[in-house]
Structure 1
Amino acid sequence: MRLSKDFSGALRTFAYFMASGTHYMLEGVDYLSLYGEDPSAIEQVYAIFANVIELDEEGQVLNFTYAQRRATDYLRAWFDPSFKVDPPYEQWETALYGPPSLKDKI
C-alpha cells in the first residue's frame, strides 16, 4: 500500500513552506535558524503534523489546516513563551516514534 496522492501533496506543501521560511501560520517568526541550531524542534513539528493529520478510507486528507496549526503552534510557543497552545498538546500528538529498519523489506 502506498500513501495517497492527497497525503503526498499535503506533506510536500507543508515541507516546502516549513523549509522556505514562508509558512503563513508562522508569519513574523524567524524559525529557519532552527534547522541548523536545534533540529529537534523541527523534528517535533513534523511529528505533530504526522500524528495529527487524518485521512479517510480513500486516503483523502481531512484536516490539513488543523494539522498545520497544531504543528506550527509548537514553533510559535518555542519562540514566544507567552504564547499558549490551545488546547494543550496531548501525549499522542507529540509522540516521537522510532524509524523503520534501514534495510528495506522488499
Structure 2
Amino acid sequence: MKLPHSVSGAIRTFSYFLSSGTHSMLEGVDYLDIYGSEPSAIEQVYAIFANVLEYDHEGNITNLKHAEKRATDSLRAYCDPNFVVSPPYEEWETELY
C-alpha cells in the first residue's frame, strides 16, 4: 500500500520549508548550517514528524500542525540549549525505524 497523497505532500512541503530556512515555526533559529555537518539532528526531526503524523481511513492528515510543532521543537532545542520541549517527548515520538 502506498502513502496517501496528503501524507507524501505533507512530507514534501515540510521538507521544502525546513531545508529552505523558511519554516514559520523556526523563525529566528539559525539551523541551516547543521545540514551536511550534523545529519543526526535532521534525521531526528524527520523521525519525530513521521512518528507523530496521523491520517484517517480516507488518507486525510488529522494533525499536521501538531506533527510540525513536535518536529521543529526538536530542532529548536538542538540549536538553543535554553529551549525546553513541552511536553517532553515520549519514546515512541523519537524512535528511529
TM-score between both structures, scaled by the size of structure 2: 0.97
Alpha-carbon separation, structure 2, partners of 1:38 and 1:11: 20
TM-align CA RMSD: 0.7
Gaps of 5+ in 1: 98-106
Q: Which residue of 2 aligns with 1:44?
A: 44
**TM superposition shift of 1:87:** 0.3
Aligned residue pairs total 97
Alpha-carbon separation, structure 2, partners of 1:63 and 1:77: 21
Over 3 Å off, 4+ runs: none
Structure with larger Rg: 1
Q: Which amino acid aligns with 1:60?
A: N
**TM superposition shift of 1:58:** 1.0
Q: Which residue of 1 aligns with 2:4?
A: 4
Q: Which residue of 2 aligns with 1:101?
A: none
Alpha-carbon separation, structure 2, partners of 1:37 and 1:28: 20
Alpha-carbon separation, structure 2, partners of 1:84 and 1:21: 21
TM-score between both structures, scaled by the size of structure 1: 0.89
List per-residue Cα deviations over 1:2-45 (Å, max 9, x = no partner).
11111111111100001111111000111111111101000000
Gaps of 5+ in 2: none
Q: Which residue of 1 aligns with 2:13?
A: 13
Alpha-carbon separation, structure 2, partners of 1:94 and 1:86: 14
Q: Which residue of 1 aligns with 2:68?
A: 68
Q: Which amino acid aligns with 1:90?
A: E
Q: Which residue of 1 aligns with 2:78?
A: 78
**TM superposition shift of 1:52:** 0.2
Q: Which amino acid aligns with 2:47?
A: A
